[in-house]
Amino acid sequence: MDPLTLKPNLLKNIIVRCLSFGVLIIAVRFAFLVAIRGQLCVASDDFCLFNVRYVSSVAVKSEKYIDFYSSVFQDLIAEGYLSPNSKALCIETVTGEEVHALKRIGVSESIGISKKASPPLILRGQAWNQPFKGNSFDFEFSSGLERSGFPVEFGWEICRTLKPGGFLVVHVTAKDAYSLQSFLDLFNCLRLIESLESYGPDSSTKIQEIVMKKERQNSPLNGNSGDKCSALELKREIIRNAEPLIKQEPLKPWITLKRNIRNIKYLTSMVDISFKRKFVYVDVGARSYGSSIGSWFKKQYPKQNKNFEIYAIEADKAFHEEYKMKKNVKLLPYAAWIRNETLFFEITRDPRKKDAMQKARGMGRKHPVQSSVTYVEDVDKIQGFDLAEWLKSVVSERDFVVMKMDVEGTEFHLMPRLIETGAICLIDEVFLECHYNRWQRCCPGQRNPKYHNTYAQCLDLFNSLRARGVLVHQWW
């Protein structure tokens, strides 16, 4: 073959191989940027074949969200809460608009976390489980706290990963002052700087922008040891919106209850309880499961789709067997009292019923043996426990606690004890049956001698509780 013919073919093969190698390099580079790093190119890269603007594979809702957060962060820079040199974290950012916005305004050391990773902008992590060392960030931001599901753990993680002197900015849809206070209570290491109401990126949803600064390490929240509840004025404002107390003694209490229950303004119908740590219902004097837990609390109380821990406090053994079948209820088979001691209680029973179990279920209530009664009675030895101290060991002010109390006159002992110890401040809402010497159905013109207290004394008890910031409802 002519040597002159071989040279062009050899040159052509060399050129084709070089071009193929170049295409392979470009393809490998493209695969690395898109599949591994999640972007096409960043202008500052050492190897960037095309000078394009920063583009991410993260699914961005729209440019207006980035513009919105860019405006928010620029305002925070102007106010001194954020700087271009800050190391910033965006929490629960699903599609990454917040991180885009931070980088756009020059905060280059910005990263986000979400349940689903999308490198390089978003790492796998959650508000309550952040994949970073302690004191890592100067600035942290979240607009999706409602999605986290563990608000208290989120508070702990913020106190762990935020540097001393760093700022936390949160956008929440706090609908009322109560839920806002519940949110602030999550952060023991932070001090509130400001709270502003504004509109979100869609200009239709109101949000609360909360700015806080880390000043100390996190510390556990202890129970209230005094008789003054925190956020007293806030709770009084809620009480002012509650149903009024019935000032005149009802002639037919059961009929009054049925009418009044329609007027009750439940706390959960007035405020948002999303930022509470856990949700607890305590039925003091529960009797049978169907008496109030199954018939009222389970069916009628508005729970905002929260799962409540339920405690049934009932000393009468006649009702204990039933609770063994209720796995979602914790039975305390004791008498609620002001101290831990053995008590002698009269169990009043209806003498017209022959069967012992039926007698117990007829009027199976407890009251101190000193009370005067005219019914047939048995005297039982029962273990009493300090309700106030037990409550302080089980819940904190971070929890949402509802209590129903029907203790046959012992409320005049228990309520002062709860106030004295500060345990009353742990209860958000109380449904209290106050026992007094009612008119008897059987005997017109005669009052029930079972109780010595009057309706006026019951009314004083309700008023004193509401004055202390306790949302208490009259119950019969």
- Tens of pLDDT, residue by residue over 199-225, are 888 777 888 899 999 987 655 444 444
What angle separates helix 177-184 from helix 232-240, to the nearest 10 degrees?
Answer: 160
CATH of the domain at 421: 3.40.50
CATH code for the domain of 182: 3.40.50.150
Among the ranges 141-150, 174-183, 360-369, which has the highest mean pLDDT value?
Answer: 174-183
SS (H, E, C) the chain: CCHHHHHHHHHHHHHHHHHHHHHHHHHHHHHHHHHHHCECCCCCCCCCCCCCCCCECCCCCCHHHHHHHHHHHHHHHHCCCCCCCCCEEEECCCCCHHHHHHHHCCCCCEEEEECCCECCCEEECECCECCCCCCCEEEEEECCHHHCCCHHHHHHHHHHHEEEEEEEEEEECCCCHHHHHHHHCCCCCEEEEEEEEEECCCCCCEEEEEEEEECCCCCCCCCCCCCCCCCHHHHHHHHHCCCCCCCCCCCCHHHHHHHHCCCCCCHHHCCCCCCCCCEEEEEECCCCCCCCHHHHHCCCCCCCCCCEEEEEECCCHHHHHHHCCCCCEEEECCEEECCCEEEEEEEEECCCCCCHHHHHHHHCEEEECCCCCCCEEEEEEEEEEEHHHHHHHHCCCCCEEEEEECCCCCHHHHHHHHHHHCHHHHCCEEEEECCCCCECCCCCCCECCCCCCCHHHHHHHHHHHHHCCCEEEEEC
Q: Of 303, 277, 233, which is closest to residue 397 (Cα–Cα)?
A: 277
Q: Is the pLDDT of residue 347 over 80?
A: no
Tell me, yes or no, whether 303 and 286 share the same domain.
yes
* pLDDT beyond 60 at 116: yes
* Residue 271 placed within a domain: yes
Among 180, 214, 248, residue at a domain's last position: 214
Q: Which two tokens stand for residue 469?
A: 């910031």
Whether 411 maps to a domain, the answer reads: yes
Q: Which pLDDT does position 376 carry in this prediction?
A: 40
Q: How far from 202 is each of 63, 94, 198, CA to CA, in Å?
A: 12, 17, 11
Q: Retrieve residue 313's tokens.
A: 């406090």
Using one digit for the tens of pLDDT, what is the confidence trace for 455-467? 999 999 999 999 8
Asked if residue 188 belongs to a domain, the reply is: yes
> 44: domain range?
29-58
The answer to whether residues 293 and 365 belong to one domain is yes
Question: Does 2 reside within a domain?
Answer: no
Residue count (the chain): 476
Contacts of residue 252, defined as CB under 8 A and 6 or more positions apart, other chains included, come to none
- Picking from 181, 214, 247, the residue at the C-terminal end of a domain is 214
Q: Which residues contact 249 (CB under 8 A, 6 or more apart)?
A: 455
Task: Based on the fold, state whether residues 265 and 173 are members of the same structural domain.
Answer: no
Decide if 90 is inside a domain.
Answer: yes
When comparing pLDDT for 152 and 386, which is higher?
Answer: 386
| Same domain (yes/no): 100, 237 | no
Which of 18, 42, 58 terminates a domain? The answer is 58
pLDDT in tens, 243-297: 999 999 988 777 887 788 889 999 999 999 988 989 999 999 999 999 999 999 9
For residues 181 and 194, give the distance between their C-alpha atoms in angstroms, rounded to a whole number: 13
pLDDT of residue 346: 63
Residues 364 and 409 in one domain: yes
Q: How much of the chain exceeds pLDDT 90, in percent?
A: 51
Q: State whether 241 and 279 are in the same domain.
A: yes
Examine the pLDDT at 316 and tell me if it is beyond 60: yes
Q: What is the mean pLDDT of the chain?
A: 82
**pLDDT above 60 (res 4):** no
Give the chain's end-to-end CA distance (angstroms, integer): 114
Judge whether 6 lies within some domain: no
Cβ neighbours for 295, distance < 8 A, ≥ 6 positions apart: none
Q: What is the pLDDT of residue 180?
A: 86
Residues 345 and 416 in one domain: yes
pLDDT classification of 30: cutoffs 50, 70, 90: low
Q: Do 251 and 324 belong together in one domain?
A: yes
Please tell me the total count of domains within the chain: 3
Q: Determine the pLDDT at residue 170.
A: 94
Both 140 and 193 in a single domain?
Answer: yes
Q: Is the peptide bond before 220 cis (omega within 30 degrees of 0)?
A: no
Q: Does one domain contain both 318 and 340?
A: yes
Does any domain span residue 160?
Answer: yes
The tokens describing 355, both together, are 């069967």
- Closest to 406 in 3D by CA, of 314, 289, 330: 314
Beta-carbon count within 10 A of 274 CB: 20
The predicted model gives 65-72 an average pLDDT of 94
Q: Is residue 449 part of a domain?
A: yes
Lowest mean pLDDT among 60-69, 72-81, 264-273: 60-69
Between 367 and 424, whose confidence is greater?
Answer: 424
Do residue 210 and residue 334 come from a single domain? no
Residues 50 and 98 in one domain: no
The pLDDT, as a whole number, for residue 235 is 86
What is the per-residue pLDDT across 364-421, written as a single tens digit (0 to 9) for each? Answer: 444 444 443 334 455 678 899 999 999 999 999 889 999 999 999 999 999 999 999 9
Q: Is the pLDDT of residue 449 over 70?
A: yes
> Are the C-beta atoms of 360 and 316 separated by less than 8 Å?
yes
